[in-house]
Amino acid sequence: MTFHDFNFEARLIEGIDALGYETATPIQEQAIPAILSGKDLIGSAQTGTGKTAAFLLPIIQKIITTPHDDAIKALVIVPTRELAQQIDQHMEGLSYFTPVSSIPVYGGTDGASFSRERQALSNGADMVICTPGRMIAHLNMGYVNLSSLRYLILDEADRMLDMGFYDDILKIMSYVPPERQTLCFTATMPKDMRELARKILKNPVEINIAPSKPAENILQMAYVVYDTQKIPLVQYLLKDLKLRSILIFCSTKSSTKALSAALKKLGLNAQEIHSDLDQSEREKVLNKFRSKELNILVATDI
C-alpha cells in the first residue's frame, strides 16, 4: 500500500516523500484509515513499527483540511523528554510543506525554557507534544486553553503508567473536551492499562502489531548470572572488542552509574545517561555518542 491510497493532500505527500517512505508499514495500513474516519483507537505496537507516522499523518491531514485558527487541536502525551523531542522532529519532517505547527513541551530545569514554552502555549499551536508533569505545571498556571482540543494521543501509555503518571494523565483529561478523538499506543496491556483505556476511549478500534523480528544478521545472546557477576561479565565481554558504538541498557540509574564507572576503570570510553542528568547534559552525551566521540553509552530506558 502506498501513501497515495489514503488520499492525502499533495503537500503532505511531499513531506512523506522527503523522508523517503515508499510503502506504508502494517500499523500505518491499519491505523491511518481508522483515524481518518474519526474512530478512537488502541494500538499495541512497539517502537520501530512506524507507529509515530501512523498517528501523525492522519492528524496532519485532518488539521490541514479544516479551517485554520490558533487553537490547540492535538495533544500528544509521552513518557520522556527524549521521546517528545523525537516525535517533534518527526512531526517537523512530515509537516514541512504544510502550515501545521507543533511545539514540544518537556522542560529542562532552567527558567528560560519554561517561559519559552509558556509563550508558545499562550500563542497556540496546532499540536502540542508533551511530557505529563511539565504539561500539568503549565495547565496549573491557567494560560493554556485546551477547550478546542479534538485529538488526544497517548504514546507509550504503558510506560507512563509504569512511571506513575496515572493520576497526571487523568488530571490532563479533566482539561480536554469529552467530544474528542482519542488514540492510545501501548506495547503491553496490563490491568491498569486496560482500566485507563476503558476510562478514556469510546468504542475503540483495536490494532495489534507483532513486534518485528530482529534482522537475520543480528546475534542475540543471554547469560544467566548472579547480580554480583554482571559488571565483571560486561567488563569481560567488552574488554577486547574494538567496536565504535556500544549501547548498554540498565534497569536503574544506580546500575548505569556503577557499570559506567567500572568500564571507565578499564580504560574504556564510556559514559552514562539517565534522568539525574539535566537536559543539556543528556543532549551533550547523546551527541557525543552520535558523532562516535563516545564509544559506550550506558543508559536507563529514558
Least distance from ligand AMP to the Cβ atom of residue 295, Å: 23
| Burial classification of residue 162, based on how many CB atoms lie within 10 Å of its CB (0-12 exposed, 13-18 middle, 19 or more buried) | middle
Binding mask 56-75 for ligand AMP (x = CB under 6 A): --------------------
Least distance from ligand AMP to the Cβ atom of residue 71, Å: 26
Q: Identify residue 187 by its one-letter amino acid code.
A: A
Question: Does 35 sit near ligand AMP (CB under 6 A)?
Answer: no
Least distance from ligand AMP to the Cβ atom of residue 167, Å: 27
Strands 205-208 and 296-299, sheet pairing: unpaired
Question: Does 53 sit near ligand AMP (CB under 6 A)?
Answer: yes
Question: Does 52 sit near ligand AMP (CB under 6 A)?
Answer: yes
Q: Binding segment for ligand AMP among 50-58, 120-128, 131-139, 163-171 (CB under 6 A)?
A: 50-58
**Cβ 188 vs Cβ 46: under 8 Å:** no
Q: Binding segment for ligand AMP among 17-25, 76-84, 149-157, 260-268 (CB under 6 A)?
A: 17-25
Question: Does 50 sit near ligand AMP (CB under 6 A)?
Answer: yes
Least distance from ligand AMP to the Cβ atom of residue 24, Å: 5
Question: Does 51 sit near ligand AMP (CB under 6 A)?
Answer: yes
Single out the residue of 75, 201, 73 nearest to residue 149, CA to CA: 73
Question: Does 48 sit near ligand AMP (CB under 6 A)?
Answer: yes
Q: For ligand AMP, which is the closer residue by CB, 137 or 286?
A: 286
Least distance from ligand AMP to the Cβ atom of residue 93, Å: 8
Q: Which three cell numbers stand for residue 81?
A: 523528554
Q: Which three cell numbers stand for residue 101?
A: 505547527
Q: Which of 26, 29, 39, 47 binds ligand AMP (CB under 6 A)?
A: 47
The DSSP result for the chain, as a single string, is: -BGGGGT--HHHHHHHHHTT--B--HHHHHHHHHHHTT--EEEE--TTSSHHHHHHHHHHHHHHTS---SS--EEEE-S-HHHHHHHHHHHHHHTTTS---EEEE---SSHHHHHHHHHHHHH--SEEEE-HHHHHHHHHHT----TT--EEEESSHHHHHHTT-HHHHHHHHTTS-SSSEEEEEES---HHHHHHHHHH-SS-EEEE-PPPPPPTT---------HHHHHHHHHHHHTT---S-EEEE-SSHHHHHHHHHHHHHTT--EEEE-TTS-HHHHHHHHHHHHTTSS-EEEE---
Q: Binding segment for ligand AMP among 51-59, 149-157, 182-190, 227-235 (CB under 6 A)?
A: 51-59
Question: Does 132 sit near ligand AMP (CB under 6 A)?
Answer: no
Least distance from ligand AMP to the Cβ atom of residue 51, Å: 5
Q: For ligand AMP, which is the closer residue by CB, 3 or 272?
A: 3
Q: For ligand AMP, which is the closer residue by CB, 50 or 58?
A: 50
Least distance from ligand AMP to the Cβ atom of residue 232, Å: 34
Least distance from ligand AMP to the Cβ atom of residue 74, Å: 16
Question: Does 21 sit near ligand AMP (CB under 6 A)?
Answer: yes
Counting residues that bind ligand AMP (by CB under 6 A) gives 11
Q: Please give the residue ranges that form the binding site for ligand AMP (CB under 6 A).
A: 21, 24-25, 28, 47-53
